[in-house]
Structure 1
Amino acid sequence: VDSLGVFSCEWSWSNRADVAVKGNTKGNGLTHWAEHENIDLSEIVAFGDSYNDISMLSIAGLGIAMGNADDEVKAKANYAIGDNNGPSIAKELEELFL
């Protein structure tokens, strides 16, 4: 699929891949949404745990990796929190905004 030049393939986990129109990444989607909503990327918090989240974690004002993410994903985030099997995101949002 990648060799056609129309699509891009991105690992979403060790055994799963996302296939999308070239350039359609979570980071580009977040950028487009932020522009549409007139929100600066520096004001956005993004959470992710998979390789397909790297583009989003890298451009958000605060990119937070989940504890179950691979080290490569965590390296692109500002920091990591607990895994996605508990209330880690809710607890982090309370810390950030309350």
Structure 2
Amino acid sequence: MSDGKNLDARMEMLQAFAVETPLDDPELLFAGVIEKIKMLQYKAGLPSDFSHYKISEGDLQRTVVAVSSDPAALNFPIPPELIRSIGEKIVRLEVKN
């Protein structure tokens, strides 16, 4: 990614999440965005993790298919392996077939 596009992406992220932090410190930028997302999650009454959903191996596989076939995937494709990896980290999957 070129510096100009990277700067544009940072500006969009700052504006979208109303984060006030220096553009030259990516760690502060992402920490601010993560904090905003966690606060939104809390205010919406959502759990901090997905453990209470009891997601099975089959559920995870259906999620991979759903994310891969979502219309947004045409412009922002994510490899199925990455979707699965993220899902396993979020859910801390205990296989329940």
TM-score relative to the length of structure 1: 0.29
In terms of fraction of residues, the more strand-rich structure is: 1
Question: Which has more radius of gyration?
Answer: 2
In terms of fraction of residues, the more helix-rich structure is: 2
